């Protein structure tokens, strides 16, 4: 009830679903070279003094949330030089085509499923670097946003491996932007809180003060929130957020499978269940979700009119001070 489903597509198809099924495989058995024929050659980089990858180094790099166009130029530079790319489940395999010279190793982990152990991944990076490889550790979004990039980087440093960090566009910002939701909007929020929906034990994070978050942050962006959304919504409502608070779930953004669902805090659990939504999804709670009614640029590009050019009911031009 109450779900408005507006799916939009962008980018090219991926086989993310297949990769998600393959998480049980160990690092070594998943190690493989992609077939070299028929690949798009890596696009040329603009002239610039790009950093050179040296043997024995590991670069931890964000791949952005999906659309390869959201890679940074530093990421493209790294992909062209790497001997080995170790990538996560959230990295679109299409991006690997930009590193046809490299060995591609899948190290996916999906919440709640058997997976490559974090420590094994980190130690594998150490091993590859010590073998003199130029190692690119590629992670979805930004490596330091709920990506355990800090832990991997720390392990590398502890083992004396030189590192470089390449930030990426996090799903909680870029995915929302593709859905037409500004993560901050002057009329709505002066703060935003990014939270994870589960902790190391797989439960709703006990260390989070949901009461403070609810009261202190007009907009809350939840990563990995699908599994515990009922408890999270209850905690926010108990802390005073309205049952009618707008919420958006942005699933698999921005890829061909992207979909955006709009609902409210009071009905989110039923709506997610009814729609059969599956991770990965970013959940955005707050009035900024309403801005999608005027900023859903993908629908507009497809010929639709904005649903409401003044969704916050300000009754004045947007730029009025
Ligand atoms: N480092 C990543 C986040 C990794 S945590 C980043 O900066 O984006 C994994 C969670 O991120 C997923 O459970 C989901 O909540 C979110 N996520 C990552 N990629 C996503 C995508 N393409 N679409 C929607 N949510 C995504």
List, for residues 269-302, the tens digit of each pLDDT value. 999 999 999 999 999 999 999 999 999 999 999 9
Alpha-carbon gap, residue 68 to 76, rounded angstroms: 10
Do 128 and 189 sit in the same domain of this protein? no
CATH number of the domain residue 244 falls in: 3.30.950.10
Residue-wise pLDDT tens digits, 82-108: 999 999 999 998 999 999 999 999 998
Q: How far is the CA of 81 from the centre of ligand 1 (A)?
A: 26
Q: Is 108 in the pocket of ligand 1 (CB under 6 A)?
A: no
The pLDDT confidence band at residue 110, using thresholds 50, 70 and 90, is low
Catalytic residue among 133, 134, 224, 296: 224
Domain assignment of residue 315, yes or no? no
Q: Which of 131, 152, 169 is the last residue of a domain?
A: 169
Pocket test residue of 11, 149, 223 for ligand 1, highest count of atoms within 8 A of CB: 223
Q: Which of 135, 150, 169 is the last residue of a domain?
A: 169
Domain assignment of residue 11, yes or no? no
The number of distinct structural domains making up the chain is 2
Q: Which of 139, 169, 199 is the last residue of a domain?
A: 169
Do 182 and 261 sit in the same domain of this protein? yes
Alpha-carbon gap, residue 246 to 286, rounded angstroms: 6
Of ligand 1's atoms, which has the minimum distance to the CA of residue 223? 15
Do 122 and 204 sit in the same domain of this protein? no
Do 108 and 240 sit in the same domain of this protein? no
Residue-wise pLDDT tens digits, 249-267: 999 988 888 999 999 999 9
Active site residue 117: no
The predicted pLDDT at position 109 comes to: 64
The helix/strand/coil state of 241 is: coil
Q: How far is the CA of 280 from the centre of ligand 1 (A)?
A: 6
Active site residue 224: yes
Do 147 and 206 sit in the same domain of this protein? no
Q: How far is the CA of 165 from the centre of ligand 1 (A)?
A: 18
The predicted pLDDT at position 11 comes to: 32
Domain, as residue range, for 197: 172-301
Asked whether the whole model's pTM tops 0.85, one would answer yes
CATH number of the domain residue 156 falls in: 3.40.1010.10
Helices (H), the chain: 16-21, 27-30, 73-81, 93-96, 118-130, 149-158, 176-178, 210-216, 229-238, 268-275, 292-295, 297-301
Do 177 and 289 sit in the same domain of this protein? yes
Active site residue 120: no
Do 155 and 202 sit in the same domain of this protein? no
Phi and psi (nearest 5°) for 299? -65, -40
Alpha-carbon gap, residue 161 to 213, rounded angstroms: 38
Do 87 and 142 sit in the same domain of this protein? yes
Residue with tokens 């269940």: 273
Of ligand 1's atoms, which has the minimum distance to the CA of residue 149? 1
Do 21 and 130 sit in the same domain of this protein? yes
Do 194 and 264 sit in the same domain of this protein? yes
Tokens of 135: 């190692």
- High-pLDDT (> 90) share of the chain, %: 75
């Amino acid at each position: 009830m109450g779900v408005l489903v507006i799916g939009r597509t962008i980018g090219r198809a991926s086989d993310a679903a297949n990769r998600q099924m393959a998480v049980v495989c160990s690092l070594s058995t998943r190690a493989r070279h992609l077939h070299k024929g028929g690949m798009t050659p890596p696009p040329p980089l603009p002239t610039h003094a790009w950093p050179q990858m040296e043997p024995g180094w590991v670069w931890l790099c964000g791949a952005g949330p999906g659309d390869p166009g959201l890679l940074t130029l530093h990421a493209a530079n790294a992909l062209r030089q790497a001997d080995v790319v170790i990538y996560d489940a959230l990295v679109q395999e299409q991006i690997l085509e930009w590193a046809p010279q490299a060995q591609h190793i899948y190290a996916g982990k999906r919440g709640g499923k058997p997976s490559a152990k974090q420590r094994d991944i980190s130690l594998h990076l150490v091993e590859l670097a010590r073998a003199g490889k130029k190692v690119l550790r590629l992670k979805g979004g930004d490596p330091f946003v709920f990506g355990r990039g800090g832990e991997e980087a720390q392990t590398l440093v502890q083992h004396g491996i030189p590192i470089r960090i390449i930030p990426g566009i996090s799903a909680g910002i870029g995915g929302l932007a593709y859905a037409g939701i500004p993560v901050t909007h002057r009329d709505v929020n002066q703060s935003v809180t990014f939270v994870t929906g589960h902790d190391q034990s797989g439960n709703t994070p006990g260390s989070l003060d949901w009461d403070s978050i609810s009261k202190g942050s007009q907009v809350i962006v939840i990563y990995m929130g699908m599994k515990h959304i009922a408890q999270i919504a209850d905690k926010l409502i108990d802390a005073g957020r309205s049952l009618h608070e707008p919420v958006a779930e942005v699933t698999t953004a921005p890829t061909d499978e992207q979909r955006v669902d709009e609902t409210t805090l009071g009905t989110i659990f039923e709506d997610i269940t009814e729609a059969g939504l599956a991770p990965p999804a970013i959940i955005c709670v707050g009035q900024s979700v309403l801005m999608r009614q005027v900023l859903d640029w993908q629908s507009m590009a497809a010929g639709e009119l904005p649903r409401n050019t003044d969704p916050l009911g300000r009754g004045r031009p947007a730029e009025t001070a």
